[in-house]
Amino acid sequence: MSAASERTTMLVTGAAGPAGRALGVQALEQADRGAGPRLVGVDLAPTDVPGYDTVLPVVGALDPAYDQDMRDLVARLRPDLVVPTVAEELPRLAVLGLATGMGAALVLSAPGPVAVAADKLLTMWALAERGVAVPPHATVAEVGSAADAVSWGGGLVVVKPRVSRGGRGVHVVEDGGDPVWDSLDATWLVQGYAPGVEYSPQVYRSPHTGRCRVVVLRKTELKQGRVGNAAAVERLPDGAEPDVAALALRTVEALDLVGPVDMDVRRAGDGTPVVLEVNSRFGALSAHAPEVLEDVLVEWSG
């Protein structure tokens, strides 16, 4: 059998987005070493993406035709693995995978854990219930007005959509007259602001043994200054921030997530690391921790 025929074929959703492109970078690097997966992508706006054989069109996760479209794509392409990278589709794809028997080919946690991680408020509730460190958090209704929120947060708070991708919609409220507050409703989460260093642990948890790998990335620059996605990161040596790594491990175990997990962690005012949000998928920074993809290729397609 040729090396090409032995390569794992991965169907990656959101191939043209940041997380999908990060997987393409890793596929190219592995190909340079004579190894690595064959990537076939799908995206709402298909285009050529480095590392992918092709990128095909697909409807959005909120489209009623999504289930049929994805089912047909999987049946036609017959990939070894289906790897989702789009936040909005994760709960729906987890259920679709269960209903259609994708089984171990779908690199995703079970529907329940996926649904909890997909909702930032539910994530806070679940982690707090299990004793995992999170910032103070509340619904808009619980806090009241913008002035009440600023007082509750000790000077400022962060508001973010409960369901969103990355740093989209994240806003800092530090003025009791902030006009943004009046547009918020029950679809938003209020969090206390953690002023310390921010990290993005890249985690892999085995679906078979529960073994975990944690690679800690430190965010050295944020796109919105105090909040938002990382503009630059530094990979830290193993053991450099043991409390952050331990928190990431506790988080995936508490939520019962498996496979690749990307999360945001920040140090509170007293230095304690707290979990801001969790993504049960490969993230935009996964190329800084290529071991996670290597673990997937060994355990999910071995």
179's CB contacts (< 8 A; 6+ apart) are none
CB 213 within 8 A of CB 291: yes
The pLDDT score that the predictor gives to residue 36 is: 85
State the Cα–Cα distance between residues 145 and 175, nearest whole angstrom: 11
Phi, psi angle pair for 112, to nearest 5° = -60, -55
Cβ-in-10-Å burial (0-12, 13-18, 19+) of 45 comes to: exposed
For the chain, the C-alpha Rg in angstroms (whole number) is 19
Query: Which stretches within the chain are classed as H helix?
Result: 3-6, 18-32, 66-77, 90-100, 111-118, 120-129, 140-143, 146-152, 242-255, 291-299
The pLDDT score that the predictor gives to residue 258 is: 98
Q: Return the top range by mean pLDDT from 31-40, 167-176, 212-221.
A: 212-221
Model pLDDT for residues 231-241, shown as the tens digit of each residue:
788 999 999 99
CB 192 within 8 A of CB 154: yes
Tokens, residue 277: 């949000």
Region 168-172: mean pLDDT is: 86
pLDDT at 47 over 60: yes
State the Cα–Cα distance between residues 225 and 147, nearest whole angstrom: 23
Output the CATH code of domain 115-134+195-279.
3.30.470.20
The pLDDT score that the predictor gives to residue 268 is: 96
The pLDDT score that the predictor gives to residue 6 is: 72
Chosen CATH of 3-108+286-299 out of 3.40.50.800, 3.40.50.20, 3.40.47.10, 3.30.428.10: 3.40.50.20
Query: How wide is the angle at C-alpha 151 spanned by C-alphas 146 and 154, nearest 5°?
Result: 125
Model pLDDT for residues 244-272, shown as the tens digit of each residue:
999 999 999 999 999 999 999 999 999 99
Model pLDDT for residues 181-233, shown as the tens digit of each residue:
999 999 999 999 999 999 999 999 999 999 999 999 999 877 655 665 667 88
State the Cα–Cα distance between residues 95 and 235, nearest whole angstrom: 34
pLDDT at 1 over 50: no
pLDDT at 124 over 70: yes
The pLDDT score that the predictor gives to residue 2 is: 36
- 104: amino acid identity, one letter: A
Region 87-112: mean pLDDT is: 96
Q: What is the mean pLDDT of the chain?
A: 93
State the Cα–Cα distance between residues 94 and 302, nearest whole angstrom: 21
Of 138, 139, 113, nearest to 126 by C-alpha is 113
pLDDT at 281 over 50: yes
The pLDDT score that the predictor gives to residue 4 is: 42
Q: Which residues pair with 215 in a beta bridge?
A: 202
Q: Which residues pair with 213 in a beta bridge?
A: 204
pLDDT band at 35 (very low <50, low <70, confident <90, very high): confident
Region 38-52: mean pLDDT is: 97
- What count of Cα atoms within 13 Å lies in the side-chain half-sphere of residue 40? 17
